[in-house]
Chain A
Amino acid sequence: MGGIDLALSRGGIHGLAGESGSGKTMTALAVLGLLPGGMTASGSIRLADTEGPGAGSDSGFTELVGAPRGVLQGVRGRRVAMVFQDPSTSLHPQLPVGRQLTDHMRHHLGLGKPEARAKAEALLDRVRVPDARGALSKYPHQFSGGQRQRIAIAVALACDPTVLLADEPTTALDVTVQAGVLQLLRELADGGDLSILLVTHDLGVMSAVADEVTVMRQGLVVESAPRQQLFTAPRDEYTRSLLAALPGSSFEQAGEDAR
């Protein structure tokens, strides 16, 4: 992979699409310094400070590439949270769901036990996990694939992060439940305190919530544009072919004719 340039604006949703295996997950993992052994990131990944002396100015940022472990640990889960593509990576199999949500809140936000539980229950409710209170004492394996995915989203949101890296967060959801999750993400971003990197291969999802869209192929960015421009006037050949493969896009007809 080489030369990926991405910027997340405050309160914006930046979509990342592209071929399977093109490097979308690795891009997100690089931000948190979680690349698998043998891979290293070079370049620069800067996280704007929200507190401290430089907050709000151009100089107030934390460099994440090559940052010491302590810095990355302070950032992970607190300022930058991730929903992993595989929900089993986000969740600990041997801990009840409630603990996974409240431990972080108590540690990072200093909440008391009852407050943390109440917040956890409210979060589960928002992502439509049935019987949110009862769910707190269950283990991940007692949920369906899509329920686990929603729990992972709740865990990521638990500590009010400023950046959410969401890697295919709705693949296991039917479209009715997905609609609720997309609404939640949009509301959180519109609130202005959260910026989202949304990795999704689903261009319908992309079209619904992304403000900016970047398309990757074989480890490279092939195109990056505001949503509407990307969907209506794609410049790159690969982006065009992706849109042509879709039912309901303005390019479908043209795509079929071309074949």
Chain B
Amino acid sequence: MSERIAAERDGAVPSGGRPVLEAEGIVVEYGRRPALRAVDGVGFTVAAGEVVALVGESGCGKSSLARAIVGIEKRKAGTVRLKGDDVPTLGLRRRSSAMTGMQMVFQDPNSSLNPRRRIGDQIGDGVRAALARGDRGSDPADWLRRVGLDPAMVSRFPHEFSGGQKQRIAIARALAARPGMLVADEPISALDASTQTSVAALMRSLSVEAGAGMLFISHDLSVVRRIADRVLVMYQGRVVESGVTETVWQNPLHPYTRALLAAIPLPDGAGRLPLAPAEADRLAWLDEVPAALERTTA
């Protein structure tokens, strides 16, 4: 399975022309006196058919950035363009039909799903959004099958599902809208390895085929390595390292990226605790390492 994903990745030639998503100088702050700056000037682009992963310390601002990108979190500064059009900051419900071309899967699946509606109807919302933009329709039950759930479950309510099943329903709802840009915040964090692999492959192949872009936030570095063309590593509100996934992986330059890759627990059965970074090491993570940004394969 992993090989299949890799093969697709090499085949994905981002089409020239304009990126699907352009974000520039994004700043997000919470509260006042003193304000907490959760996102501190982040910019990046996502090309058609490209998967960009966003990784970083818990609390470093990934979800805040994701919400600012889709326009449901107020941006203190910065601009976001979807296929050239400015993305306004509005509630999800008030978005124009063009903006339904960008879909978000929330970190907490309960935020993506309405507890009082049957899941088939909610996936149907996605289908209707696609139709409203003149895109192809689809059958909600079929989406359930594609994410590894029983199609007969369309008439159930969200609370009747396990954590990982809810995550897959949220993904089905977003994919049914046939987004040109998908922002997915820890979308498969609760899935076992084999379900994770197949759902990640589905998400990736749909974006690649449709020429859509995807921003994939994840703590699971092995999944990131398998599905992302490029990776952004964030620490305390800033991007500290970025570039082609394999390049960053093979030779991380920023000390935070290094610490991250060193702390992955190996499934070797040896009972070894991964190394928790020392307090003193964390200071160095605030350093800027210009060479770590925009890394290419070279």
Stretch at the interface among A14-22, A49-57, A115-123, A156-164: A14-22
Stretch at the interface among B79-87, B126-134, B135-143, B186-194: B186-194
Closest Cβ neighbor of B56 among chain A residues: A174
Q: Quick check: B197 and A204 within 8 Å, CB to CB?
A: no
Taken residue by residue from 89 to 107, chain B's Cβ proximity to chain A (1 for < 8 Å, 0 otherwise) reads as 0000000000000000001
Question: Which residues of the other chain, B, contact A21 by a CB distance below 8 angstroms?
Answer: 161-162, 164-165
In the docked arrangement, what's the CA distance between A82 and B13, Å? 47
Question: Which residues of the other chain, A, contact B275 by a CB distance below 8 angstroms?
Answer: 179
* A:11-52 near B, CB below 8 Å: 17-21, 24-25, 36
Question: Which residues of the other chain, B, contact A87 by a CB distance below 8 angstroms?
Answer: 108
Total contacting residues, chain B, CB less than 8 A = 56
Q: Quick check: A17 and B192 within 8 Å, CB to CB?
A: yes
Q: Which of A18, A20, A202, A209 has the most CB of B within 10 A?
A: A20
Asked if A177 is an interface residue, CB under 8 A from chain B, the answer is yes
Closest Cβ neighbor of B193 among chain A residues: A245
Question: Which residues of the other chain, B, contact A17 by a CB distance below 8 angstroms?
Answer: 192
Closest Cβ neighbor of B55 among chain A residues: A174
Stretch at the interface among B170-178, B208-216, B257-265: B257-265
In the docked arrangement, what's the CA distance between A238 and B45, Å? 40
Taken residue by residue from 158 to 201, chain A's Cβ proximity to chain B (1 for < 8 Å, 0 otherwise) reads as 00000000011001111111111011001000000000000001
In the docked arrangement, what's the CA distance between A21 and B191, Å? 9
Stretch at the interface among B16-24, B57-65, B240-248, B290-298: B57-65
Question: Which residues of the other chain, A, contact B259 by a CB distance below 8 angstroms?
Answer: 176
CB distance from A228 to the nearest CB of B (A): 5
Taken residue by residue from 1 to 34, chain B's Cβ proximity to chain A (1 for < 8 Å, 0 otherwise) reads as 1110000000000000000000000000011000
Give 14 A-B pairs besides A130-B59, A145-B63, A208-B271 with Cβ atoms closer than 8 angstroms.
A19-B192, A20-B163, A21-B161, A143-B59, A145-B186, A174-B219, A175-B221, A175-B263, A175-B265, A201-B196, A204-B265, A207-B271, A247-B2, A250-B268
Interface residues of A (CB under 8 A from B): 17-21, 24-25, 36, 85-88, 130, 142-147, 149-150, 167-168, 171-180, 182-183, 186, 201-209, 211, 227-228, 230-232, 241-243, 245-250, 256, 259
